[in-house]
Structure 1
Amino acid sequence: MVLPRVLLADDRALKALAAARGWYVSETAAKLINVGLQHAAELPDDLPRRVAATESTDFTARIPLSDNTLLRSIASERDRSISLVAGALVKLGLRHRNELLGQIPAQYDHLEQRLTKAS
């Protein structure tokens, strides 16, 4: 589990995405962290050491153990808190949200046949 610290604008985008998908905010954040980790090379070099409480919010997100290991490694390498790195990964995930699974519903109408009594 991590406590991502996200900027208020990113929090609004996160909540809007969660609502649009019908997901919990923590579930959405975990998925965005995963997408962010896939693009970790795009994290800014100058991550802040702190973010004011008036400019951010934090919450709990349950992430897979493999993501947790990568997140902690990045935080350690950059000498930043896990919460701030997790928040930066959420922001990065929001930028690449089109990569979330289920983004575009599959269209199978042309493959389905009409139901019959036997169906």
Structure 2
Amino acid sequence: MHYEYYLRRVARKKYFEKWILETKNDNDEWNYDLVFVDLDKDCTIYLFTSKEEFLKSEEYMTVLEGLCHDWCTFDGINNDIKSFLLPSDIIEDDDKIDIFVKEQIGDVLEKVKE
């Protein structure tokens, strides 16, 4: 299966950027993933996806790693990807997704308020 990838920035905060990573497969099916990039210190990418196969896809992870390296070009930076599978029962509900994200990386999001 071949995928096309499109990145769309939806928010730039003081300490991270929030992107939507859109993927389109051969059947013209779309999937939208949330990607948070921590711009502070370690440049960690936090991926929230509803597609488990993406977490095992080398091509997909390469896209994310490239995204990370585009922002984090300093020597010695530890570029890390932390992945979370969105429960299938919440993928259509933005409010539930927000709650899930805050439960997983609330401490990272708190940095925005500092």
How does the TM-score come out when normalised to structure 2?
0.23
1 or 2 for the larger relative contact order (CA 8 Å, sep ≥6)?
Answer: 1
**Greater share of strand:** 2
TM-score, length-scaled by structure 1 = 0.23
| Structure of larger gyration radius | 1
